[in-house]
Structure 1
Amino acid sequence: MRAPHFGGIWEAAVKVAKGHLYRSLQNTKLSFEELATALCEIEAVMNSRPITPLTNDPNDFEALTPGHLLIGTSMRAIPEPSDANTNPDILPYWRRINNVKSHFWQRWQKEYLQELQQRSKWASKSPNIAVGSMVVVHEDNLPPMRWSLGRIQKTFPGEDGNVRVAEIRTAKGTIKRPIHKLALLPC
């Protein structure tokens, strides 16, 4: 069956990618090679998103990504070239592609994290974040394909019993964040 309405989740991802790509490339003129490179970079960005924790181990900060299903490991970013070793004629093209990728990353990361955060009306009670759960921490200015993952170590409930702040253990150390800056990965 090849009808788009049978696709479900992957067709939704294609729609989101097309929308962000359109907004990222709106006034940009790219050659075929530049567009192909930009599309490969954007594909890697989309396939780097965390889906679910790989293990229940509280010391494991690795998450299953679409890249694991495609190539057997998580996607890695292409190292950025240093300006000193690069042909000056190529730099404007590389910077243009890099700007497209960064613009796409900023838009898409915010939307993906908002999808993970369950928003419900205040009239219905939703469960609190549990200790040991894996979360994606919303951090500004992260480079493309870098996700800040951590495990909830401690929760701080408000007077009403709802968790407002959590202490998260990440690979870089322990941080405190309000729960609206956290997106719980589904198990």
Structure 2
Amino acid sequence: MLNNDPEEASPLTPSHVLIGEPLVTVPEINYTEYKMGSLKRWQYNQAMLQNFWRRWSNEYLTHLVQRYKWAHKVPEPKIGDLVLVKENDLPPTK
């Protein structure tokens, strides 16, 4: 950790050693300086919400999709099923 304040915890990364700061830094913006009406604020929040859901569904949910080797899923063997056990290190006659 770079400082002792738990509110501003940031881990030490290799980029701190190379360039002295994180590679991806978020600029600190003082939002109190912006005068924004209720409609503009609502539109901004809706755009941010849509952006979040689009990125979440495109980046995260695609990693959760199961991909099967074959066209259909083969059910897992259950207790009482007949199975064939093969050991790769044994010759075929054993």
Q: Given the two structures, how large is their TM-score scaled by the length of structure 1?
A: 0.20
Structure with the greater relative contact order (CA < 8 A, sep ≥ 6): 1 or 2? Answer: 1
Q: Given the two structures, how large is their TM-score scaled by the length of structure 2?
A: 0.35
> If you compute each CA radius of gyration, which structure gives the higher value, 1 or 2?
2
- Structure 1 or 2: larger strand share? 1
